[in-house]
Amino acid sequence: MQFTCSINDFNEAKQVIVGGVDSPVRAFKAVGGTPPFIHSAKGIYLYDEDNNRYIDFVQSWGPLLFGHCDADIESALIDTLKKGTSYGAPTTLETYLAKLIIAAVEGVDKLRFVNSGTEATMSAIRLARAHTKRDAIIKFEGCYHGHSDCLLVQAGSGLATFGAPSSPGIPDSITRHTLLARYNDIESVRDCFAKAPIACVIIEPIAGNMGLVPAKTEFLQELRALCDEHGSVLIFDEVMSGFRASRSGSFAFHKVQADLLTFGKVIGGGLPVGAFGGKDEIMHLLSPEGAVYQAGTLSGNPLAMAAGIAALSKIAHDSTLYERLETLANQLMDGFRQAADSQRIPLQTTVRGSMFGFFFNTAPVNNFDDAQKSDTKMFARFFRGCLERGIYLACSQFETGFISVPMNNEHIEMTISIASDVFKEIANGRI
């Protein structure tokens, strides 16, 4: 493949945009080379400025469950666009989408829409602190909950890619209220509870920002019991897993109910969106009913609501959707693992619904420490080999991949064949 146009576009972007990108992981620092600059997409494919075509397993980092330019979502957007792009006033679209979410997800009595996952988690924590009248929170190493100050501590994903445990510009006076526990390790959580009165525990029940690492059912059950014992609020960050792992998010896998949940990605059908919701006894503290303030000019934007309604309506009317996508995800990961095994390359794989992940690691990955033992140089070689053959994977060992509805067996088998060729090239020292 030729990347001449993308190289020129990237150099030009760096003159006016910091690092040439608007989100750090897009810069390809972890894998080397120049990121392809995309000019269009359709279904499962991305097309870059050099007219290269890729099978897209990133799907805008998760939101595009139905692939690029889905006809139903596109139609809903066009109809809504003709009526206006933003009103700064209530619409029935917000109510409709809220009802779809509440009908699907256990434990959500009421919710509020915001513009991003960062806003959602930040607001949920503010509510939890107001409800408990406590300051300290517990988060887990490797879980990313957005870039608000109190949460940008051992946050995985892009930070893991760049080897930074936190970020400059965050005062110690804020992070001292954030206690760190080890994912899938309940004793580390008990240690945190012993140190301070805890307002809330926030966790990705299916972590997607240290690679795909699901929480064990027993661990989440014990976490629920600890929060009940100490009067702390349990927050599930389902920005990534909500309507991605299943219609009910992580609940389908462990049946543990949180007090507050955060959403994003799929609920906006590909447009910027976030939401947080949960028990009415906590949500009613939010202004204008209560004193906890949160606001946003574009919150509940009609375009995002329309796209979300279209996406969630399609989900609600397709009872075998996640079963089909999980079958394809398992097929892909089984194929990757067999191809890697044939070249004696260690590979660990995981699937949850339409989400998949793999680590170049000799041992199973259950937490951030395990994930960091993965061979990131091997991942970079594999990534570049796949990209140059038309397979677009997440550009970091510490990210998650996604299956979309337009994908079929042929696409999966083609991808496995390409991956097999890349593994052979790696084993023979040609990549």
Point out the catalytic residue in the list 45, 259, 265, 322.
265
Is 265 known to be catalytic? yes
Q: Which residue has tokens 């779809």?
A: 100
- Which listed residue (9, 56, 70, 144) is catalytic? 144
Contacts of 323 (CB under 8 A, 6+ apart): none
Whether residue 187 contacts residue 222, with contact meaning beta carbons closer than 8 Å, is answered with no
* Active-site option among 9, 56, 237, 370: 237
The set of residues, in sequence order, having a beta carbon less than 8 Å from that of 181 and lying 6+ positions away, is 138, 139, 140, 141, 188, 189, 191, 192, 201
- Secondary structure (3-state) at 54: strand
Contact 419, 338 (CB under 8 A): no
Alpha carbons 421 and 417: distance in angstroms, whole number: 6
Burial of 343 (0-12, 13-18, 19+ CB in 10 A): middle
Write down how long the chain is: 431
Residue 140, amino acid: F
CB contact at 8 A, 180 and 115: no
Query: Tokens standing for 28?
Result: 């390809």
CB atoms within 10 A of CB 168: 5
Burial group, residue 291, by CB count within 10 angstroms (0-12, 13-18, 19+) = exposed
Helices vs. strands in the chain: H and E counts, helices first: 15, 16
Residues annotated catalytic, as ranges: 144, 237, 265
